[in-house]
Amino acid sequence: MVVMAALVAGPVAAQTFTLPELGLQSSGTCQQMAVRNRSNRTMVPFGCVDTAANLFRLSGNAETTVVGGQSLLNALAAKAPIDANGNVSTIRGVKSSSDETNAFKIVPFWAAFPSLDVIHYTNHINRTTTLDGAAWDSPLGIDYLVTTGYKKNFVSNASVALGDNIIAQPTGATEAYVYRVTQAGTVASSASSWGAPGSAEFTSGTAKLIWINYNNLAVKIGFTNTTFVKGEGGATWLNNFNMHLLPMNHQPQYMTNTEWDLNNDSGYDCALFSGNTCNALNVFVGGGNKSTVGLNISSQNTNNFALEWGIWLAGNKLAADAAFEINTSSKVAIGVGRYPGILGTSTFSDSTYRDESASPVGQKLAGTYSSAAVDFQGATITAQGGSPTAVVRAPGQQDCYAGFNVCQRFDTGLNQFAIRWSGADVLYLDGSGNLRLAGGASPAASTVAALPACNATTRDQIRVATDVTTATYNASVSGGGATRIPVYCNGTAWTAH
């Protein structure tokens, strides 16, 4: 007896079968096995016995599901060694290296393959494409149509119909529950006292309801894969999707390891923060201990780049609000090169960030910062133009304050540094240090006693003294008087000017 490792996954359901009429071809390299169609008495082949390879090959067009959902091969395996609960014993899968032409590979489960025991499958599908470009060709498919399970959020004093599912979170509950309406009516203004899990039917307003499920579990799932690791459990991967492009006779075409498609033609937009989100990919992490990485994209290549782009967000209508949004609390929001030597050195040949987009503002800072909006103090910069340069601007580009009211720039026409105020230039500074003002200059004013010491440091400064006694040109000044004049430091004393 043979068992197909790909399809035998559990105990045979308790059903009644009529003993089939089976036939096996008497000759041939792969002797056909067929079952009698009782309606017209013809023999319908569903596979063949490869006596040379000691394998059973399922026909490429064989239907593997019969009335009642019972697997055909489950029925065929009824006399295979199974345990007291009807479970087929562990089947050893074969990683084929030379025979890749099987539509399916069925392994005699008493056979031993000690030399191929590196990979061990309980259930195994090993298939090579059987059709050319005329069809979507897949070894395993799940089509799932969901027509039930809609849930409504609780609304105070709302009318509910018999059979409605209502989401509500009563007082003291740590999560929302789903309740089924057993009597139509109008619910009360509050769901604070609605029943706990497992509770009996209760009345709310004129309606009656009963608890049926936890909201997080009241979902429909096309495919579920759950793995638990405990005790002495070792390294575990829940899913392993491997795709290897082997040497080909042509340029690879559209090759994708895994694709998630989400198309919303429901007639409704899925809005942010509404509880009715529609996500193409949802990664949720939790638990009492910290895990490592939510999404890890890495390569161990050393001779060539593995990818052109690590992550690609594309499409003019991909996202309405933000193509990339961060809402979390951590040490940094985006870190670059903080841990060199772990698979990479974070060395970039052009720039760390490069923005060539078309938008009103290249970078807009509108957060609340306790220290600074931009801080270059920790940067190590190679000197250019005599000093390390924190910011480089093209000629004519300006820095502005208070909107665009006060700006500074390098005027390429005049070859001078300029400051503009309310649309008019008020200051020019040329490369020789010459300063030109649109208005006057007012030196700092103080009493003679408050003037800084006149020495080599303050030499050639001009200030205003407000209490000079005698104003004799180029003579040293003394305070205590009433005359206000400009004074000049000649390196040893402040003199009248």
Rounded Cα distance, 150 and 266, in Å = 13
Pairing state between β 152-153 and 165-168: parallel
Q: Quick one: pLDDT band at residue 274, thresholds 50, 70, 90?
A: confident
- Quick: pLDDT tens for 373-395: 999 999 999 998 889 999 999 98
Q: Find out whether 365 and 373 touch, Cβ atoms under 8 Å.
A: yes
Q: Quick one: pLDDT band at residue 11, thresholds 50, 70, 90?
A: very low
Residue 119: the pLDDT is: 56
Residue 5: the pLDDT is: 35
Mean pLDDT of the region 173-179: 94
Residue 130: the pLDDT is: 76
Q: Find out whether 178 and 162 touch, Cβ atoms under 8 Å.
A: no
Q: Which amino acid is at 425?
A: D
Residue 76: the pLDDT is: 36
**Cut 0.75: pTM above it:** no
Rounded Cα distance, 243 and 99, in Å = 19
Q: Quick one: pLDDT band at residue 447, thresholds 50, 70, 90?
A: very high
* Short-list 118, 17, 8, 132, CA closest to 67: 17
Q: Which amino acid is at 208?
A: K
Q: Quick one: pLDDT band at residue 97, thresholds 50, 70, 90?
A: very low
List phi, psi (to 5°) of 184.
-65, 155
Element (H, E) at 76: helix 72-76
* Short-list 275, 321, 304, 51, CA closest to 175: 275
Q: Is residue 211 scored above 80 in pLDDT?
A: yes
Residue 309, SS3? coil
Collect all residues with Cβ–Cβ distance below 8 Å to 80 and sequence separation of at least 6: 1, 3, 88, 109
- Quick: pLDDT tens for 310-358: 999 999 999 999 999 999 999 999 999 888 777 778 889 999 999 999 9
Q: Is residue 307 scored above 60 in pLDDT?
A: yes
